[in-house]
Amino acid sequence: MNKLLVAGSIILNLVFTIHFLYNKSTTWNPTWTNRAAVEAEEVASVSCSGHGRAYVDGLGVLDGNKPSCECNNCYTGNDCSILVSDCHVDADSMAQDELSLSEVGSFVSAELERIIKKLHNVVGNAVTDNRFVIFGTGATQLIAASIHALSQTNSSTSPARLLASVPYYALYKVQVEFFHCVKVKFEGDASVWKKSEHNDNITQVIEIVTSPNNPDGKLERAVLDGPNVKTIHDYAYYWPYFSPITVPADEDLSLFSLSKTTGHAGSRFGWALVKDKDVYERMKNYITLSSMGVSRETQLRVLQLLKVVVGDGGDEIFHFGYETLKKRWEMMNKIFSMSTRFSLQTIKPEYCNYFKKVRDFTPCKFFF
């Protein structure tokens, strides 16, 4: 009997060992990492004659083309082997204007710009025609860059006033006070300013419009207008998860964040759509001096993420996100309906151009 049990045990162990070693169905096969490795090796095999480089997110990859060489200054051709005649390179290490040697635009992925514009066209939440696109380390850096760029146009000795509608995102106030901005001062509620004696149509004003608003989730419009007023539109939450997409945002300066688009907050990536070239240049200068732009690795990751999002027109991720938040709101509304002391914010449903129906707002925060 003992011999039979031992024999049976040996046979079972052999079966399990063979199954573990050779049956691929029980072995995790990380296909996406294999695919990434193949893409990286394919790019590394592209010869650019030592005068350029090919990148995984290089021009044409979104169209299914093989990555092409991006040539160094004074070289051209498919493999960067042709020396451009009469080309001058400023090699002075003590150049007075170092920014001229390190334009942040040189480190911006053109393919990522394309996929961002395609994403907005798919969702219908922003106009991208005739807009400059600038990347930042999250929307946080872009808020600071926007305030800096707009405050530089203030010729008055008095600082421009920064305003937002209550309840507003606390960072707007904290950021300005932390950096001790000389050209801008946080003044508070835009509605209070509009009714005050200080609203003289002369004092330079910057209004931040957060829509949907953080934290109450309502769609907002600018309170102030006039030749002395400049506006920053923070559209971080203007995605189908949180809000009906009522109209494409068509503003002079609009901010967006990857953390609210796909949930990848740790990548620290955001972008701005800017209409005015001078404002764009000042924002770009701020990004350059504060962080030398966004790393190419981050841009590559964002490109890969957004390619997946737009691959099916956003159907999978936006439907999943909306349905998930909708269920949470139904649960929370049921809980708060039993209370006589507390209530949740209520927002009238609106027609959503993305889902093609009237729908409720489903903000990511409960404001009660």
What does 138-196 look like in DSSP terms, one character per residue?
HHHHHHHHHHHHHHTT--SSSPEEEEEPSS--THHHHHHHHTT-SSEEEEEEHHHHHHS
C-beta of residue 248 within 8 angstroms of C-beta of residue 295: no
End-to-end CA distance of the chain: 72
Determine the Cα angle at 62 with ends 59 and 68, to 5°: 30
In the prediction, which pLDDT does 45 show?
81
Assign domain 107-311 to its CATH architecture.
3-Layer(aba) Sandwich (3.40)
- Domain ranges in the chain are 46-83, 107-311
CB 169 within 8 A of CB 176: no
Q: Is residue 68 a contact partner of residue 76, using CB atoms and an 8 Å limit? A: no
Q: What pLDDT, on a 0 to 100 scale, did the predictor assign at position 155?
A: 66
- Residues 318-354 have pLDDT tens digits of 999 999 999 999 999 999 999 889 888 889 999 999 9
| pLDDT tens digits along 140-174 | 999 999 999 999 876 667 888 999 999 988 899 89
Looking at residue 103, what is its pLDDT? 43
Global pTM reads 0.79
Query: How far is residue 59's CA from residue 321's CA, in Å, rounded to a whole number?
Result: 31
Q: Which tens digits make up the pLDDT trace of 186-217?
A: 888 898 888 887 777 778 999 999 999 988 89
What is the CATH T-level fold of the domain 46-83, as seen in this structure? Laminin (2.10.25)
